[in-house]
Amino acid sequence: MRIAVVGSGYVGLVSGACFADFGHEVTCVDSDERKIEALKKGVIPIYEPGLDELVARNSEARRLLFTTDLDAAMQSAEAVFIAVGTPSRRGDGHADLSYVYAVARDIARNIRSFTVVINKSTVPVGTGDEVERIIRETNPEADVAVVSNPEFLREGAAIEDFKRPDRIVLGIEDERARAVMTEIYRPLYLNKAPLMFTARRTSELIKYASNAFLAMKITFINEMADLCEAVGSNVQDVAHGIGLDNRIGSKFLHAGPGYGGSCFPKDTLALVKTAQDYASPLRLIETTVAINDQRKRAMARKIVRAMGGDVRGKTVALLGLTFKPNTDDMRDSPAISIVQGLQDAGATIRAFDPEGMEAAKACLSDVTYCTDAYDTAAGADALVLVTEWDAFRALDFPRLRTLMKAALLVDLRNVYRREFIAQHGFRYISVGRPEEDIPVALAAE
């Protein structure tokens, strides 16, 4: 099938490359000429494991093309995906749909025969209705079916998620679109990928509800972590204990410094705003948003307390800056609030991230960016593990001990165990676990 994907950012590029790998003929369209020229040369604008190889393989096979010319891309396209950004609108928190609507107008001008227009961007309920209205208003002769097909891709595991999805949600109002969407996703049938057809507005809400629920789950275990610290319990044991219940499950129950990234922060906020517009407030989501924002700044205070309550003139070394490992995404990363909080308290910051350094420089100033974990730790009064990259899971602590001014590790991801760290003379502070030594008998369990 011939497919056009408008928007060559994270979702558009991953989707286009995966569709091409299925055997479809895909043209990715973007208005950014420099990005398109780079993609033609095999230069990928984002970090996603395996994406460079996927793009190269399908570009070489001529199944994946890149262009700025939407008209040319739509000449023979049977389906057109909208995959542009929907950031939080400045000032009110609503999703900014200006890019989606602009693309809808451009698509309308280029429709020549029956075309299925699929919205893969994350959008509030009713956006598909407006996209269809815009297309028909712009081109009254357009024969079009507008579909909602939200993405459920985890950054760092997007290709695996696309090719082996839990579900493929398809919101349709025109039955002609059913056959087209079934054919597009037919290559997944060997993996028994479930196609869920539903109403378009329902599909749009499924995406927001999914992200909001996961954000609540993260926030729940983070609040449990605070209680564990207060009463002397271990949040990892609590998470394991409740996660064994099949009704709850173990995923997204890892205590840490709060959620960030391109989805959860903006999507929870947009859902809250949508609910308010319809006079149906979502109190749980509102509280989740507030708690998560507060938690990020609270992590800076936690570090200050661990360093004796005063960090003026002291150096803090941060390992990891991106909101999660295996991405270069700094959007709403907890590291931003942590750095700013520590700087406000008078600390000097040294930092290293395997992939996020360039992105970090755009949002964090007065930070010394280092070449690796050991360069970062040199002369530091505390080492803080912010993002659980694999490169930080087996650090050489005897070496770190000789490099640092003070032997203090603040582990905001609970990567290590206190008894292991103590063997190397370090004081260890984690999240949701008691600060006193764990009895050997319990540690062995």
Comparing C-alpha atoms, which of 408, 374, 369, 404 is closest to residue 391? 374
169 within 8 A of 198, measured Cβ to Cβ: yes
What DSSP element (H or E) covers 56? helix 51-60
Using CA atoms, how far residue 150 sits from 16, 156, 164, 262, in Å, is 14, 18, 15, 14
Is there a contact between 103 and 6 (Cβ–Cβ < 8 Å)? yes
User: Which H or E run contains 36?
Assistant: helix 33-40
The b/e string for 2-22 (b: 16+ C-beta within 10 A; e otherwise) is ebbbbbbbbbbbbbbbbbbbb
Q: Could you give the 3-state DSSP secondary structure of residue 25?
A: strand
DSSP, res 281: -
Contact 382, 400 (CB under 8 A): no
Give the integer Cα–Cα distance in Å for 230 and 240.
Answer: 19
Residue showing tokens 């993996």: 191
Which class for 31: exposed (0-12), middle (13-18), buried (19 or more C-beta within 10 A)?
middle
* H helical segments located in 244-322: 264-277, 283-306
Query: Is 228 annotated in the active site?
Result: no
Cβ count within 10 A of residue 330: 24
Of residues 18, 28, 263, 370, which has the active-site annotation? 263
Residue 304 and residue 385: Cα distance in Å, rounded? Answer: 14
In eight-state DSSP terms, residue 88 is B
| Pair 119, 104: CB distance under 8 Å | no
Pick from 264, 445, 422, 412: which is nearest to 341 by CA?
412
Q: Which residues are catalytic?
A: 263
